[in-house]
Amino acid sequence: MEQSPAPNRFAPPSPAPHAELGSAWSAGQSLLVSGVAAGAQTPFLLTLLPHTNRPTLIVVNTEAESLRLATTLRRAFPNRTVHAYPAHAVHPYETGTYDAAIVRQRLLILAALNTGLPDLIVIAPWRAIAQGTVDPTIYRAAQHTYRRDEVHDPVTFTAQCVALGYQLVQTVQHPGEVRRHGGVVDIYPDDEPSPLRFDFFGNQIESIAHYNAHTHARMSELPSFTLSLRVEAPWSHQPALLERLRATDDLGLSESTQQEWESYLDPFRHNQSFPGMSLLIPLLNGTPPTSLLDALPAAGLLVYVEPDTILTQMNEYAQRLERQRSRLIHHGMLPAWYPDIVVGVQHLPRTAPTLLVADTVPTRAVAFCALQPYTHQTLEHLKPLSAGRLASDDLPELNLPFAIGQYVCHIDHGIAVYEGVVTQNIAGTLKPYLKLRYAGADRLYVPEQQFDRVTCYGDPSNAAPHLTVLGTRDW
């Protein structure tokens, strides 16, 4: 792997409060923050994010971790938009059909990042990042807003819908379908609860309205509607790819695989789902493949949680899939020209301000370096405090990052009010406990070895949050 240039070296560690870290990060400075134990990484982000006001993309290790963090951030920041970016269940070079709900969610998040909204937070597992998507520039170019009273030919309008990946049908019943009957065009966008009807008077859009797919009764009218790609590829390239596949008498495939690929061409031409969709759609995208990170605006913020682990797993994933691609080509199950469609670490953009959050200093963090130098900070107060014998009148200064009466967040139990330190005599040793007040009469006493699970909640200037009810699904 190409080495990072000399300026990207770590500055000497020094303690820094979250507000200073957030300010430096938001100012475009890349940061490495070590000393953040695994159990403290979510509380650390909960405390840091209120000091940022830019679209933020957080890359974590697993899909389960992504979903948990998204749930936590939605509860902690109800005024911000939080999305969990999913990975496809079908791996690259596997024969399968993409789940329409996953494709829809990935494209909606891609569109949201394109807007550059400052309150947006996206959490993605590394595997979702490694699975390529459509180029954000192509996605933006394909979007078009149609307004009532605008002039559009209904035949051309229908063709434009087909070029976005919609299937032309006799009756619209399911998402992803479109139909034209004279001056009426029905289309069912994936992210809408019901289909839309575009009524044309000649070449003018007379009305746009939702309608009931069963009774065809008109419902709410809209002044305009924006149509977008419904596949993660430039569908306008589909005719050229079809021509290439049909013009090649021998794709270098085994006889059975050749027949299988030929069976894909007709449903592919009609924009239908088919078992080989996961093999053909990536061929519409260019190489190297595009990552979701390419959609993050230059003014956005990028976070890697435990970057060494992410780097190791992404490299192993890419190597394993490259071996699989070579094996499939060797056995005539993929064309010899089939490209590498996995987003490797070498393809990740490195221009956005970056934050690396780790327990220890990542040994290979330079692989994620942006163009700016890194500043290395360490947060000692997020490490578990050392346990020792405490005299009853001689408790040391615990140097906690919150004060009595302040809202705090326990990673496992949710939002509470910190009511101070209490001590208990355990086998002749006086030990400190954090006293947390939850909803109603609920109280929690946090032992010293779990202090790292508690941190400040959000921004003190925010409205008071709802306290968590212990022992429920409230958190």
| For residues 240-263, average pLDDT | 86
pLDDT at res. 378: 62
Question: Can you read off the two tokens belonging to residue 201?
Answer: 């008077």
CATH (domain of 217): 3.30.2060.10
DSSP β-bridge partners for residue 432: 423
Same domain, residue pair 240 and 318: yes
Domain boundary among 378, 404, 425: 378
Average pLDDT on 273-292 reads 90
Strand, helix or coil for residue 181: strand
Sheet of 454-456: strand order equals 443-447, 429-437, 414-426, 407-410, 454-456
Compute the distance between CA of residue 334 and CA of residue 92 in angstroms, rounded to an integer. 12
Q: Is residue 351 part of a domain?
A: yes
Q: Are residues 57 and 202 in the same domain?
A: no
What percentage of the chain carries pLDDT values higher than 70?
84
In the chain, the largest separation of any two C-alpha atoms, in whole Å, equals 90
Q: What's the pLDDT at 8?
A: 39
Within a domain: 474: no
Tokens read off for 317 = 């994933």
243 and 391 assigned to the same domain: no
**Most trustworthy range by pLDDT among 155-164, 300-309, 386-395, 451-460:** 155-164
Residue 2 lies in a domain: no
Q: Phi/psi at 253 (nearest 5 deg)? A: -100, 155
In the predicted structure, residue 70 carries a pLDDT above the cut 60? yes
Q: Which long-range contacts (CB under 8 A, 24 or more apart) does 94-97 make?
A: 94/278, 95/275, 95/276, 95/278, 95/279, 96/275, 96/277, 96/278, 97/273, 97/274, 97/275, 97/277, 97/278
Pairing of strands 407-410, 414-426: antiparallel
Beta carbons within 8 Å of 189's beta carbon, 6+ residues apart: 175, 195, 196, 225, 227, 230
- Read out DSSP for 38-51? GGGHHHHHHHHGGG
Residue 463 in domain = no
Domain that holds residue 411: 384-456
The domain that holds 250 is classified in CATH as 3.40.50.11180
Q: How confident is the model at residue 222 (pLDDT cuts 50, 70, 90)?
A: very high
Among 18-22, 209-213, 275-279, 466-470, the minimum mean pLDDT is found in: 18-22
Q: What is the arithmetic mean of pLDDT over 426-453?
A: 80
Residue 472 lies in a domain: no
Same domain for 300 and 195, yes or no, is no
Same domain, 167 and 270: no
pLDDT band at 182 (very low <50, low <70, confident <90, very high): very high
Mean pLDDT of 193-215: 94
Q: Give 300-316 pLDDT, tens digit per residue.
A: 889 999 988 898 899 99
Distances in Å between the Cα of 55 and the Cα atoms of 83, 113, 295, 398 are: 11, 7, 11, 35
**Got the DSSP string for 1-14?**
-PPPPTT--PPPP-
Is residue 90 within 8 Å of residue 278, measured between CB atoms? yes
Instruction: Report pLDDT digits (tens) over 360-371.
Output: 777 666 566 544
Instruction: Place 164 in a pLDDT band, splitting at 50, 70 and 90.
Output: very high
Residues 57 and 172 in one domain: no
Phi-psi region of 395 (alpha: psi -120 to 50; beta: other; left: phi over 0): beta
In a domain, 248, yes or no: yes
Pair 55, 200 in one domain? no
Q: What is the mean pLDDT of residues 320-339?
A: 93
The Cα–Cα gap between 295 and 104 comes to: 16
Q: Does residue 61 lie within any of the structural domains?
A: yes
pLDDT at 391 (0 to 100)? 36
- Write the CATH number for 415: 2.40.10.170
Q: State the Cα–Cα distance between residues 26 and 28, nearest whole angstrom.
A: 5
Q: How many domains does the chain have?
A: 3
- pLDDT tens sequence across 109-157: 998 988 888 899 999 999 999 999 999 999 999 999 999 999 999 999 9
Residue 419 structure tokens: 């009511």
**One domain for residues 55 and 162:** no
Burial 366-379 (b: 16+ CB within 10 A, else e): bbbbbebebbbbbb
pLDDT at residue 435, as a whole number:
87
Per-residue pLDDT, 6 = 36
Say if residue 391 is in the same domain as residue 309.
no
Domain boundary among 227, 262, 291: 227
pLDDT at position 429: 66
Q: Give tens-digit pLDDT for 79-104.
A: 999 999 999 999 999 999 999 899 99
CA distance from start to end of the chain: 42
Query: Are β-strands 429-437 and 443-447 bridged in parallel, bridged antiparallel, or unpaired?
Result: antiparallel
Are residues 104 and 38 located together in one domain of the fold? yes
Asked whether the predicted pLDDT for residue 225 surpasses 50, the reply is yes
Say yes or no: 245 and 96 in one domain. Answer: yes
Please indicate, yes or no, whether residues 119 and 244 belong to a single structural domain of this protein. yes
Q: Which of 228, 265, 256, 46 is nearest to 146 (CA)?
A: 228
Phi, psi of 38, rounded to the nearest 5 degrees:
-55, -45
* Residue where a domain stops, chosen among 378, 394, 409: 378
- Range with the lowest mean pLDDT among 22-36, 133-147, 199-213, 275-289? 22-36
Q: Is residue 6 part of a domain?
A: no
98 Cβ neighbours under 8 A, 6+ residues apart: 88, 90, 232, 277, 278, 281
Q: What is the pTM of this model?
A: 0.75
